[in-house]
Amino acid sequence: MSFTAKDVQALRQSTGAGMMDAKRALEANDGDTEAAKQWLREKGLAASAKRDDRESTQGIVALVVDGNVGAIVKITSETDFVASSEHFKNEAQTLAALVATKGEDAAGERAKELEDLRILLKEKIELAQIVRFEAPAGNVVDSYLHVQGGRGVNAVLVELEGGSQELAHDIAVHVAFARPKYLSRDDIPAEDVARERATLEAITRNEGKPEQAIAKIVDGRIGGFFKDNALLDQPYAKDDKQTISQLLGSAKIVRFAQVEIG
């Protein structure tokens, strides 16, 4: 019997088991939900159900870069005390290394270890996010990890075409603190731009600006929105006299990713 991602989610919600555990349970029982529930109960993997309604807003981000491959793994917990424990940090680093070496799906190989961690540390612990970059030959991948209280809390990966490792790292550091949501202004959803433009028009009109000047004023002000959201439009953190686009020169940012706790 086959099963879908919705079946995994439904089993997870009804038992409180982790995502990977729910998937394993369905695989072990040919997609039979009731049998999977019993399997989870027998394995002790549904024990986290009592903790399922708790918030897991703390955690750690682990980062690994090996040549042209980079991986970030985010694991969440309920408290920073647990997130700072050696067991927790070691598991995050192991998962990041595994994902870097074998791919995102390889995280499923650590499902049992994650459940053991939940039992050991007595908190709701979730594998919350996985990012993996594998760049083609000639491109470079670099990163930045901001560490706070002995654990990673803000991780960035950048893939660059036609640029140096140092440039990729500098851009990763910039992303960590500037927090752009998109690479370019063209990537921002049209409805978001339209909503911001309408807001700026209302603000400008309420300031009593002449009607015939409003469109031009809004055109100027929308640039601030692009600077907040689009990486290429942002002033470079180390030299705000040039934008990231200018800093790049002939190089090109293929993609970037930022994963944070909180």
Lowest mean pLDDT: which of 77-81, 119-123, 214-218?
119-123
- What average pLDDT does this structure show over 43-64? 70
Return the ∠ at Cα 166 (arms to 163 and 169), rounded to 5°.
100
How sure is the predictor about 20, in pLDDT bands with cuts at 50, 70 and 90? confident
d(CA 163, CA 1): 50
Q: Is 242 helix (H, G, I), strand (E, B) or coil?
A: strand
Please report, as a single letter, which amino acid is at residue 16.
Answer: G
Number of H helices, E strands in the chain: 10, 8
Q: What is the dihedral of CA 181, 142, 161, 189, to 10 degrees?
A: -10
What domains are defined for the chain? 5-51 (1.10.8.10), 58-182+244-260 (3.30.479.20)
- What average pLDDT does this structure show over 116-143? 91
Lowest mean pLDDT: which of 108-112, 171-175, 228-232?
108-112
Q: What is the pLDDT of residues 217-252, one digit of tens each?
A: 998 899 999 999 999 999 999 999 999 999 999 999
Tokens 């660059």 sit on residue: 160
Q: Which residues pair with 146 in a beta bridge?
A: 154
Please tell me the predicted confidence (pLDDT) of residue 238.
92
How sure is the predictor about 18, in pLDDT bands with cuts at 50, 70 and 90? confident
Is the pLDDT at 26 greater than 60? The verdict is yes
Return the number of other C-beta atoms located less than 10 Å from residue 51's C-beta.
15
